[in-house]
Amino acid sequence: MNTNRILAAFLTASSLAVPPSFAQTLFEEQSKETIKVTRGKDGQVVTEQQRVIYTPQMVYLEKQPILQILRETYRTSQQSNLEGVRSDVRVDLFRPGKDGRYPPAPSHSIGIPNVHEVKFLDDHWKAMTFGCCDAEPYGRLYTYGGDKPFLRYNEEYWRMEVPNSPIARYAGFVLRDHVPGDAAEAAVFGEHPDAVACLAYAAPGKPLDSVYLEPRRGAEKKPGLHSANFDVRSAYPRDEVRADQHTVQLWSLDGAVDANKNKTAVSGVTITAGVFVDDGSTETLTVRVENDRFTDIRVEGKTLGAIRAGAK
């Protein structure tokens, strides 16, 4: 999506509606940052801070561009005797009414614990957690107005886009060892207590499929794992893989082609997710996507085996 083009069109339409000599305030708010430093009876110093960030974001609603305002409120706490920073975030979404003004109360709010950074993108936004030591970054993707993440991942995720079509798909790979907190771990692995990794595939706001990695019989039950390669490839030469951006342009499904106009699912994509095991070996999971479902699921290695979501 060309955000600059949308913004230009939006501003042009707005300037026609309001005389140049009249400035109408549609949204205004001020928030101050705070900091508090205390020393406890044990002599440890605790630093607590609050900061607020405002982000204007152009999106399409019912095929019309609107300017929504997003407010991030971070509350952080750091103890002098502990590594890392505890950071929670609240994201408030403001959208204009029919008269163009923004109501004082947000149209949607969500609070997420243990988040250090938020980034807003075209059809989704991501919340990131950065652990200490050798913990891998952990992210989750949300739709605007959504209450639950539709994808969780470590390190990076892939986006598959269909040109001239609203179809978009996402793939993420997450390791149990690198999911922060019991609640997040239960959300990913709750129905698969023996699983140590999960490959997930989703549309915006809608998980579509997932497969788990579990130790094989006789293998160590909880091997230490770290992410290795995570790649997406296509079977069709027309499709364009941009590995540096973790995106695939699926020109084979181009919505401008008459034969593709009624297609609603993605096919012909292969996803590969590798892990380093603490014994020095590498395990690699490979799946093929056909009609938005994983097929041809296989694992190369001696330690881990694959199991589909919901299977026991």
Give residue 133's pLDDT: 79
Assess whether 220 and 248 both reside in one domain: yes
Assess whether 126 and 216 both reside in one domain: no
Assess whether 142 and 160 both reside in one domain: no
Assess whether 287 and 246 both reside in one domain: yes
Residue 209's closest CA among 267, 148, 289?
289
Assess whether 108 and 208 both reside in one domain: no
* Three-class SS state of 258: helix
Assess whether 52 and 197 both reside in one domain: no
The number of domains in the chain is 2
pLDDT exceeds cutoff 50 at 40: yes
Assess whether 171 and 127 both reside in one domain: no
- Residue located via tokens 């103890």: 79
Hey, what amino acid is at 167? I
Give residue 17's pLDDT: 53
Domain boundary among 104, 127, 149: 149
Assess whether 171 and 201 both reside in one domain: yes
Cβ partners under 8 Å of residue 65, min gap 6: 6, 7, 9, 10, 58, 59
pLDDT exceeds cutoff 50 at 261: yes
Q: What is the mean pLDDT of residues 27-48?
A: 92
Assess whether 9 and 56 both reside in one domain: yes
In a domain, 24, yes or no: no
pLDDT digits (tens, 9 = 90+) for 64-107: 889 999 999 999 999 988 888 889 999 999 999 989 999 999 99
Assess whether 115 and 186 both reside in one domain: no
In a domain, 53, yes or no: yes
**What is the model's pTM?**
0.88
CB burial readout 18-31, b (16+ within 10 A) else e? eeeeeeeeeeeeee
pLDDT digits (tens, 9 = 90+) for 221-235: 788 899 999 999 999
Using a pLDDT cut of 90, give the percent of the chain over it: 76
Domain boundary among 112, 129, 149: 149
Give the domain extent around 160: 156-312
